[in-house]
Amino acid sequence: MAKDSDRDLSLSHLNETGQANMVDVSEKPSTVREATAQGKVRMSLATFHAIERGNAPKGDVLGTARLAGIMAAKQTSSLIPLCHPLPLTGVKVSIASEPTLPGYAIQATVRTKAETGVEMEALTAVSVAALTLYDMAKALDKAITIESIGLMSKSGGKSGKWQAES
């Protein structure tokens, strides 16, 4: 597994004059690519218990957040400048209870067969799921925080497999 320090870290989205441009990936081969991202949503214990009991004022907090994450992954190229629109072949968003936080761990895994990776789609899915969870529960707790969103792993393409250090 290569480290960032072992790679050419030049910015591929900048042209020779420093202007931002979308990278041309038309010559790259289509390969199966996958990325997994995760994040956490921390809240008061009372808010956590209300969500767990299904007593949030706006309804199904976790189901709505999960669906929002899936939908967001599909819209990434509309939200993030210079991202390529990709034919996603799979998006899985899971939200796990973490009573000791208290709160939830959100994880998204996105797959495609394309010329470029799906890291941004996985990160967008986690981010929007977390924002939706906040929105669905903010009537109970304005101090909810979204934390530690990051890429956990990716595979496919020229750079191959990568996994975050624990």
For the annotated catalytic residues, the residue numbers are 135
Query: Do residues 115 and 25 make contact, with C-beta atoms less than 8 angstroms apart?
Result: yes
DSSP 101-134: TTEEEEEEEEEEEESS--HHHHHHHHHHHHHHHH
- 20 sits in which H/E element: none
> How many C-beta atoms surround the C-beta of residue 58 within 10 A?
13
- The Cα angle at residue 78 between residues 77 and 81, in degrees rounded to 5: 70
